Structures are given as structure tokens and as C-alpha cells.
Structure 1
Amino acid sequence: MLLALKDVSKSYTTSEGPIQVLRGVSLSLDAGENAALTGESGSGKSTLLHIVGGLDTADSGTVHLDGRDIAGMDDQQLAELRRGTVGLVFQQFNLIPSLDVAANLAFQARLAGRHDERWAAMLAERLGLSQLLKRYPEQLSGGQQQRVAIGRTLAARPKIILADEPTGNLDEATGDAVLDLMLGLQAETGAALLMVTHSARLAARFGRRFHLTGGKLA
């Protein structure tokens, strides 16, 4: 089992008092599996994803990732986890504007010490970026930028990919094409994929589906 959450709860303090976002959430995901995480706005989907990725901490419960309990990790260990084990894809592309496509694709893999020219070239070809390697992010369409973001994540060969509404800024046709590529490459690499989406249509394409409501899995 690559990912195991047990009884994870999370609340935030606001001016109007504490807000309980997650209430005892438990789920698991094996290597090679893909799952969609759905729920209404504010249901805790992004919070759950951030906890799995070590970007936020749970108030209670356990999160085991690749056999390790991430609750006991310090900031340096969490940063190493995100470099080497976890791949993150967000709705905002977060590309580095001063780097061209080739350098953006290689960025995460170089940080992880896993840069492989042949793997990067194959990803660029599969993602339709081979003719765009010398361009900069501002010269790309939204769909092209998201494909670069996905390629940057996969170039480091993460064990699990966490994607937060990665097609949310794209039109339907482009979003479908990007999801096709992501699911295909995820299956080929054997990584696990957990993707937040508000779309029941997109969620139906995943092997497993989790739905958050009232801070719990329905």
C-alpha cells in the first residue's frame, strides 16, 4: 500500500471560531492505482491533498506514504519527500518564466537527482512539446503550459502524483486531452494518482472515486 490515511481530521481557526474541514477521513491507494476526489466547494478536497503532500498537517489521525508516517517529519524531510516521492500538479501551472520549456521539464528531476535525458525527451514527445522546447511559458497556450507542468512532475518519476483541479483552467476539449495524457503516463510509470476534480464526468474515468461531504467520505 503506497498511501494510507486513517481517521484524519483538520480544522482551521477563523474570526468566527473553528471550522472543521475534515472529520476522520480514511482511505488507501496502491501503486499503479488512480482515484478521483470529488466534493462540493469547501468540502476539504484541497486540504486533504495538501496533507497527503506534506504541505499541511492533520490535527489528528495518521498519514503513511511509501511506508513512512509523514506526521513525524521535519520541514527538510518533507521537502525531500516532495522532491523524490510526491509529484504535485496544480490548477495554476507554476512554471518558471525565466526558463524555457526544456529547462522547466527538467527542473523537478534535477532537484530530485533523477534527470534522464532520454526519459525527458520521451515525455516531451508524448506530451506534444518536442517542437516547443526553446519557447518560454509566456509563449505557450494554457493547454501547452499544463502539459509542461505534468511533464515536469513525471520527469522526476514520483511514486504518487497529487493533482488539484489540473484541468480547471482549460476548455473541455483541451482538458480531456490533458487528462488522457496524464492517465496514460501514470499507468505506464506505475505511479499512483489522486486527482481533485469537481467534474463527475472526469471522475468517472478513474479507477476509484472518493467523495467528500461534510468533511467525511460518503
Structure 2
Amino acid sequence: MLLSVENLSKSYPGPEGPVPVLRGVDLQVQAGATLALRGESGSGKSTLLHLVGGLDRADGGRIVIDGQEVTALDDAGRAALRRETIGIIFQQFNLIPSLTVAANIAFQARLAGRHDATRAAELAEALGLTEQLDKYPEQLSGGQQQRVAIARALAARPALVLADEPTGNLDEDTAAVVMDQMLSLVTETGAALMMVTHSPDLAGRLGRQLHLRQGRLA
């Protein structure tokens, strides 16, 4: 099992005390599997994704990825896990504005000590970015920026890809194209994919769907 989540809980401070967001979540994802997380706004989808990605700390429970207990790692350990095992695709792209497209694609792979120029070029070609490699993020359309984010996440050959509303900022036609490209590349690399989405159509393209309601999975 690549990812195992056990009895995970998380609350955030509120004016009248802690506000529970996740209440004893259990979840498993096998290597190479695809999973869509759905739920209303505020249901905890992004919180769960961020906890799995080591971007935040849980209040209770365990997260184990590829044999490593994320919930037992310090900040440095979680950063190392993100470099070496996890690729994250954000809704807001999160590209580095001072780096070219080529440098953005290579960024995480270089941090992980896995930069492969041939692999980066293959990803750029597959995502239609070959002519954009010397440009900067501000010179690209939203769809192109999201393709760069996908290439960056996959360039380091992660075991697990986490995608938080990866097409949420794109128009419907562009979203469909970007989703096609992302799913094809994730399948080709053999990575597992866990994606947060509001879209039933996009969720239906993944192997399994789970719904978060009031902090619990169904």
C-alpha cells in the first residue's frame, strides 16, 4: 500500500474554540491507483491533501507514505519526503516567476537529485511546452502555466501525485485538455494520483471517488 491514512483528525482555531475539519479519516491508496476527493467547500478536502503532502501537521492519527510515517516527521523530514516521493499540483500553479519554464520544470527534480534533461524535454513536448521553454510564467496563459506545474510535479518521478483542483482556474475546454494530458502522463509514469475536485465529470475519470462530509469520508 503506497498511502495509508488512519484516524486522521485536524481542527483550526475559531472564535469560540477549535473548529474540527477532519474527524477520524481513514484512507488507503495503492501504487498506481487514481482517487478523486469530492465534497462541499469547507468539507476538508484541501486540508486532507495538505496533510498527506506534509504541508500541514495533523492533530491526531497517522499518515504513512511508501513506508514513511509522515505524521512522525519534523519539518525537514516532511520537506525531504515532498522532494523525493510526492509531486504536488496546486490550483494557483505556484510557479517561480523569476525562473524560465525550463527551470521551473527542472526545479523539483534538481532538489531531489533526479534531474534528467531528456525526461524534462519529453514532458515539455507531451504538454505542448517545447516552444515556451525560454519564457517566464507571466508570459504564459493559465493553461500553459498549469501544464508547467504538471511537468514540474512529474519530472522528479514521484510515487504519489497530489492535485488540488488542478483545472479550477481554467475554462472548460482548456481544463478538459489539461486533464487528458495529466492523466495520460501520470499513468505513463506509474504514479498514484489523489485529486481534489468539485467536478463530477473530472472525478468520474479517476479509478475511485470518495466524498468528504462533515470531516468524514464516505
TM normalised by structure 1 equals 0.98
- Partner of 2:60 in structure 1? 60
CA distance in 2, matches of 1:203, 1:172: 14
Does residue 146 of structure 2 align to residue 176 of structure 1?
A: no
Q: How far is the alpha carbon of 1:148 from its aligned partner?
A: 0.3
CA distance in 2, matches of 1:188, 1:31: 13
- Partner of 2:101 in structure 1? 101
Instruction: Classify the secondary structure of the residue corresponding to 1:55.
Output: coil
Q: How far is the alpha carbon of 1:88 from its aligned partner?
A: 0.7
Unaligned runs of at least 5 residues, structure 2: none
Unaligned runs of at least 5 residues, structure 1: none
Instruction: Classify the secondary structure of the residue corresponding to 2:83.
Output: helix
- Number of residue pairs matched? 218
TM normalised by structure 2 equals 0.98
CA distance in 2, matches of 1:102, 1:58: 35
Q: How far is the alpha carbon of 1:121 from its aligned partner?
A: 0.6
Q: How far is the alpha carbon of 1:214 from its aligned partner?
A: 0.8
Instruction: Classify the secondary structure of the residue corresponding to 1:48.
Output: helix
- Partner of 1:185 in structure 2? 185
Question: Cα deviations across residues 160-200 of structure 1 (Å, max 9, x unaligned)?
Answer: 00110110000011111111111111111110000000111
Question: Cα deviations across residues 7-35 of structure 1 (Å, max 9, x unaligned)?
Answer: 11111111122111111110100111011
Does residue 83 of structure 2 align to residue 88 of structure 1?
A: no
Q: What root-mean-square deviation, in Å, do the aligned CA atoms of Structure 1 and Structure 2 show?
A: 0.7
Instruction: Classify the secondary structure of the residue corresponding to 1:124.
Output: helix
Amino acid at match of 1:138: E
Amino acid at match of 1:120: A
Instruction: Classify the secondary structure of the residue corresponding to 1:7.
Output: strand
- Partner of 1:123 in structure 2? 123
- Percent identity over the alignment is 66
- Partner of 2:21 in structure 1? 21
CA distance in 2, matches of 1:142, 1:93: 9
Moved segments of 4+, more than 2 Å? none
CA distance in 2, matches of 1:14, 1:62: 24
CA distance in 2, matches of 1:150, 1:195: 13
- Partner of 2:4 in structure 1? 4
CA distance in 2, matches of 1:158, 1:96: 20
Does residue 197 of structure 2 align to residue 197 of structure 1?
A: yes
